[in-house]
Amino acid sequence: MQIIHISAECYPVAKVGGLADVVGALPKYQNELGMKSKVIMPFYDNSFTQNNKFKKVFAGTLQLGSDSLPFTIKSLPKKQLGFELFLVDIPKLLHTSFVYSDDDTRRFMAFQIAVMQYMLQLKKKPDIVHCHDHHTGLIPFMMSHADAYEDFRQTPSVFTIHNAQYQGWFSHDQVNLIPKFPLSKIGLLDWDNSINPLATAIKCAWRVTTVSPSYMEELKSEANGLQSLITSESDKCVGILNGIDTSVWNTETDPFLVKNYSETTVLSGKKANKKWLCDEFKLNAENPLFVFIGRLVGEKGSDLFPQVFKKALQNPKLSILLLGSGNKDTEKELLKVRKQFPKNYNTFIGYNEALSHKMYAGADFLLMPSRVEPCGLNQMYALRYGTVPVVSKVGGLIDTVVDLNENGFGIIHTEITVTQIVEAINRAVEFYKKDTVFRKNRKTIMKIDHSWHLSAQKYSNLYNSLKV
């Protein structure tokens, strides 16, 4: 079975967040199950594309409104990433140093048309087209209704929602960017008087998945305006929990770690990584170390951090290190907190893959007070690295973390408030003091299997159910 995944991100080619991790791992595991799974994404101008050699496999021209844009498709063989990779190179528009910008309607519309043009001329059409997030949300519509792509009417499409907060809205004034389709189908593009690629995908894809069962349930009551649509389409919707790529997230081989470790050497391994972090960021290594890694946006609850940290750090017996970027006011506030607590708090504003791995390894606790968390990968990386997750009770966090009070291994707070997050931190500090139990818990969590094997099989079953 041949599957084409279409996405804006894919690790290690280009990553902004968890979407990249999933698209960089799932196809690899699907290939191990005997499928032929490939990825198509934009060609960005970044260190990955600068340092790899690609083969040009197709050249064409696409029509974006009144503009004719030449594009090429470049490929990388399977042996390099575990799946064949195809990159859509559209000079100037997509060939940029960044992944997202203010011009994304045009950029990703052009990307989607180029993908359709490329797939149209393939001798063997894919058995499944699997699209990820709103940047690819108009592909199921084009496959079913655009005049030029009639060849795809019988090809099943699967659409995965990684985050329903972002929907790719644009105005009906720009409808001419979409390749010609019967006017009677305009309703499929519309939601609340805007063109809404996420809503369109939910309406048009043969199956819709999201990245955890609990998030699928939550979407029926809160989906940034799409809850009634999710509810009415629920027969074709299913939640499949993400996995993690255990070949990348492996404490024994991770090249970013100061010291590699296994369950048996976790004590010394984590100690060495913690020491590096504490030396680098001038923190007291005797204290339990809490970290946060992620985008500084409302969904992640990061706006509460300045207040949470000021309260929690009244206790000098804990340290906090944060890595992330996003909301500028939050960034400023977080930097200010450093002045008040120079010995047990620090923050790195920016994106740093290598540092993130060292933090999962060197930390004692990972903070994730998310308001919305479709799946969350960080908590699963933390578990695998022997770091206890301190999380809110939402989405995929419900499906992956069990509280200590329920014979579990993590710490859960039900409300996303300063008070409850600080209480959760205090509970964690008390847990850290129970040395033997704490150490035993570390070994237990490292053994939890969140690899992709099970979920890749679930996607396989879903694809098989769509065979025409």
Binding residues for ADP-alpha-D-glucose: 15
Residues 144, 184: contact at Cβ < 8 Å?
no
**Nearer residue to ligand ADQ within complex by CB, 317 or 453:** 453
Q: Least CB distance from residue 424 to ligand ADQ, whole Å?
A: 18
d(CA 133, CA 428): 35
Residues 5, 129: contact at Cβ < 8 Å?
no
Q: Least CB distance from residue 172 to ligand ADQ, whole Å?
A: 29
Residues 338, 246: contact at Cβ < 8 Å?
no
Q: Least CB distance from residue 176 to ligand ADQ, whole Å?
A: 31
**Nearer residue to ligand ADQ within complex by CB, 181 or 309:** 309
Residues 41, 108: contact at Cβ < 8 Å?
no
Could you tell me the CA-to-CA distances from 180 to 51, 86, 90 in Å, in that order?
38, 26, 21
H/E stretch holding 454 reads helix 453-465
**Nearer residue to ligand ADQ within complex by CB, 42 or 243:** 243
**Nearer residue to ligand ADQ within complex by CB, 304 or 375:** 375
Q: Least CB distance from residue 217 to ligand ADQ, whole Å?
A: 15
**Nearer residue to ligand ADQ within complex by CB, 38 or 132:** 132
**CA angle, residues 413, 419, 421, in degrees to nearest 5:** 40
- Pair type for strands 289-296 and 365-368: parallel
- The DSSP call for residue 451 is B
Summarize as ranges the residues that interact with ligand ADQ (CB under 6 A). Answer: 17-19, 21-22, 162-163, 211, 242, 293-295, 323-325, 351-353, 356, 373-378, 396
Q: Least CB distance from residue 258 to ligand ADQ, whole Å?
A: 17
Residues 154, 200: contact at Cβ < 8 Å?
no
**Nearer residue to ligand ADQ within complex by CB, 294 or 306:** 294
| Bond from prior residue into 12 cis (ω within 30 degrees of 0) | yes
Q: Least CB distance from residue 56 to ligand ADQ, whole Å?
A: 31
Could you tell me the CA-to-CA distances from 31 to 35, 371, 449 in Å, in that order?
5, 35, 20
**Nearer residue to ligand ADQ within complex by CB, 23 or 308:** 23
Q: Least CB distance from residue 325 to ligand ADQ, whole Å?
A: 6
**Residue with the CB atom nearest ligand ADQ in the bound state:** 17
Q: Least CB distance from residue 449 to ligand ADQ, whole Å?
A: 17
CA atoms within 13 Å, Cβ hemisphere of 1: 25
Q: Of 195, 200, 189, whose CA–CA distance to 174 is shortest?
A: 195
**Nearer residue to ligand ADQ within complex by CB, 88 or 211:** 211
Q: Least CB distance from residue 434 to ligand ADQ, whole Å?
A: 28
State the DSSP string of 312-370: HTTSTT-EEEEEEEE-HHHHHHHHHHHHH-TTTEEEEES--HHHHHHHHHH-SEEEE--
H/E stretch holding 438 reads helix 435-446
Could you tell me the CA-to-CA distances from 467 to 155, 170, 199, 237, 297 in Å, in that order?
9, 33, 24, 17, 40
Binding region = 15
**Nearer residue to ligand ADQ within complex by CB, 249 or 409:** 249
**Nearer residue to ligand ADQ within complex by CB, 144 or 160:** 160
Q: Least CB distance from residue 249 to ligand ADQ, whole Å?
A: 9
Residues 357, 176: contact at Cβ < 8 Å?
no
Locate 9 and state its tokens. Answer: 């991100």
